[in-house]
Structure 1
Amino acid sequence: MPTPTRVPQEERTRVMRARLLEATVELLVERGFGGTSTTLVSERAGVSRGAQLHHFPTKNALVVAAVEHLTEVRGAELAAAASALPAGGRRTRAVLQVLADHFTSPVFTAALELWVAARTDPALMEAVAPLEQRVGREVHRLTVELLEADEARPGVRELVQATLDLVRGLGLADTITDDARRRDGVLDRWADVLDKELP
């Protein structure tokens, strides 16, 4: 009879942390920041309260780590989507779709819950602000790269920023109601603008 192989402690810890982080994101999306508790997270993840508190002693530590984790996952998905973008005339519209998909994904909804809660919670703001700045810089860099934009040219940086503000705002509208049809029309028109303005 073969001896059962033992999973190394490091791997068990990694799997348990991933379950906690995924459960946190699910609860942030379903119940919001106020409705997410460490007890609910440990129950959903199937992890003991003691183990959860060992890794994440506070709710703030848990939700910031969860959004950071999901941001990394979504960053990898964005990179994969970017590698499949078409060349030529429909590229700009396809880039806008990749960005719109990002800003209507669970990572955006979870991050939005965190931003709203951090607005009136100084300790949470201290944890969230550096993460948001890092993510913002990375999405900006990726957008410049995908649009093949030359920010050394006058007005190009502002167009890139306007693009990000636009897709973020459309993502925000989508949290209230399914806004896909209107969003598609707006993105079609903005792609025309970018194709004219970006060389």
Structure 2
Amino acid sequence: MKSAEAPPLGRQEAKSLRTRNALCDATVTCLVEFGYGETTLARVVEKAGLSNGALLHHFPSKEHLMTATAQHLFAKTLNRPKRRLPENAGDKDVIAADLRTNWSYYINTPQYRALLEILIASRTDKNLRAQIAGTLHEYHRQAVAYMMSAYESAIGEPEDAELLPVMSNIFFRGLLIQDQYSADPHKQQRMVERWIEIVAPLLRPRGGTAGQ
């Protein structure tokens, strides 16, 4: 059943949303450029071209701003682009295309590097961890629900529909960190392709989604 469309935003609501998005985008830029520790509220408002008052009106602390930025980035990862595959694409082609999309469209990006800065900081920053925990758990729940609805095991292992996509994302995240030790993008891409060669035959799209 088609869900009802959300009513249009009023002028003030639209302005508020633009401000929040501008602050989140500026936070992403600062995280990529300076890292979590050096991303200050002063730097964020300077990047956004806004005032301290505007930032504090929406986000009373750095932890609130980082949580909103994580939500901003997670929303993009849950909005998947439409598959573009030839008509004769098989199940393995679909899985391979999805894995490549996860790597190139979501993970190997400045936005995901910014998200990693937040996630790594939350390990030791108690205030950030407390503030962001609910967001992380909800994203994980939605991501797993998507995986279970999109994939099934090709070899009769029910857990694979969840475990293999999660393992793939963990591997891809590790490649971003490995970037600091290796400057060879060709080897990195070969590792991505080799991983896809291993995983793609083990999954298939649930409900005949090939070519969608």
Alpha-carbon distance, 1:182 to partner: 2.0
**Distance in 1 (alpha carbons) for counterparts of 2:85 and 2:78:** 16
Among 117, 121, 124, which residue is 1:120 paired with? 124
Q: How many angstroms does 1:104 deviate by?
A: 1.5
Partner residue of 1:184? 189
CA displacement at 1:72 relative to structure 2: 1.0
Amino acid at match of 2:39: T
The one-letter amino acid paired with 1:24 is: T
What 5-or-longer segments of structure 1 have no aligned partner? Answer: 1-6
C-alpha distance in 1, partners of 2:200/2:69? 37
Q: d(CA) in 2 for partners of 1:68 and 1:180?
A: 29
CA displacement at 1:42 relative to structure 2: 1.1
Distance (Å, rounded) in 2 between the aligned partners of 1:176 and 1:128: 29
TM-score, normalised with respect to structure 1: 0.80
Q: Which amino acid aligns with 1:169?
A: G
Distance in 2 (alpha carbons) for counterparts of 1:192 and 1:8: 50
Given the superposition, is the C-alpha separation of residues 137 and 172 from structure 1 closer, same or farther in structure 2, using an over 3 Å criterion?
A: farther
Identity of matched residues, %: 30
Deviation at 1:97, TM superposition (A): 0.9
Aligned partner of 2:41: which letter? T
Question: Paired residue for 1:22?
Answer: 25
Q: TM-score, normalised by structure 2?
A: 0.75
Equivalent position of 2:62 in the other structure: 59
How far did 1:85 drift? 4.8
Report what 1:95 is aligned to: 98
Which stretch has the larger CA shift, 117-126 or 129-138? Answer: 129-138
Shift of 1:121: 1.4
- The number of aligned residues is 189
Identify the residue that residue 138 of structure 2 maps to in structure 1: 134
**Alpha carbons of 1:159 and 1:62: their partners in 2 closer, same or farther (altered >3 Å)?**
closer
Deviation at 1:154, TM superposition (A): 4.8
- CA distances 1:119-166 after superposition (whole Å, capped 9, x unpaired): 2211111122222222233334444555x3249735524433332322
Gaps spanning 5+ residues in structure 2: where?
Answer: 1-9, 205-212
- Partners in 1 of 2:31 and 2:58 — Cα distance? 19
Q: RMSD in angstroms over aligned alpha carbons?
A: 2.7
Offset, 1:57: 1.1
More helix by share: 1
Q: Equivalents in 2 of 1:175, 1:105: separation in Å?
A: 15
Is 1:24–1:41's contact at 8 Å kept on the other side of the alignment?
Answer: yes
Of 42, 61, 75, 1:72 maps to 75
Instruction: Note if contact 2:108-2:176 (Cα within 8 Å) is conserved in structure 1.
Output: yes
- Whole-angstrom CA distance in 2 between matches of 1:178 and 1:144: 36
Tell me by how many angstroms 1:54 deviates: 1.2
